[in-house]
Amino acid sequence: MKVDEFVRLYKENRNKEQFCERHVIKKYVPFTTKLTECENVVKSTMNVLNEDGTTTFRQNTPVRFLLFHMTMIKWYTDVEIEDIVKDYDTLDESGAFDTLVSKLPMHEFKEFSTILSMAVDDYISNNRTVLSAIDNMMTTLLTVKGIEKNG
């Protein structure tokens, strides 16, 4: 069901909680699916692509919030997400967003949130610490010299 239709029916419905519950159609998403999506969210919200093709580290936590919640709605409901920002605004303005999110499986919500936090932490520790910078410089230096790095 498209977001506009969902919101129209949501507004017409007297029991909004029950209406949203009927649209939650899935109780579980496989771990590997969550992990892959978290890695994609991290990649798209932790770097800015420069004109020259390089990337610069910049966190975009509002977009991470948006991607997290809209992915949850996409996975667990029959609501079709086509334009993430527009669909979020439509759901949120009507009040349907909070009601729908509250009906998602809480254990899944917590697990996806935890995996996303871990993926963010891993990205920062693997790419943004002094130790990772030294490791990257050593790898580059050894590669230039034609030496294989061990561990």
Q: For position 7, what pLDDT does the model report?
A: 98
43: containing domain:
3-145
Q: Apex CA 7: angle with CA 4 and CA 9, to 5°?
A: 110
What number is the average pLDDT over the span 104-115? 97
Give domain status of residue 74, yes or no.
Answer: yes
Phi, psi for 60 (deg, rounded to 5): -130, 80
Residue 14: inside a domain: yes
- Cα-based distances in Å from 136 to 33, 39, 75, 126, 140: 29, 21, 37, 10, 6
For the segment 69-102, what is each residue's pLDDT rounded down to a tens digit?
999 999 999 999 999 999 999 999 999 999 999 9
Say what the pLDDT of residue 23 is: 98
* Residue 150 within any structural domain of the chain: no
Question: How many domains does the chain contain in total?
Answer: 1
Within a domain: 151: no
User: What span, in angstroms and rounded, lies between the C-alpha atoms of 74 and 86?
Assistant: 14
Residue 45 lies in a domain: yes
Establish if 48 belongs to a structural domain: yes
Helix/strand/coil for 129: coil
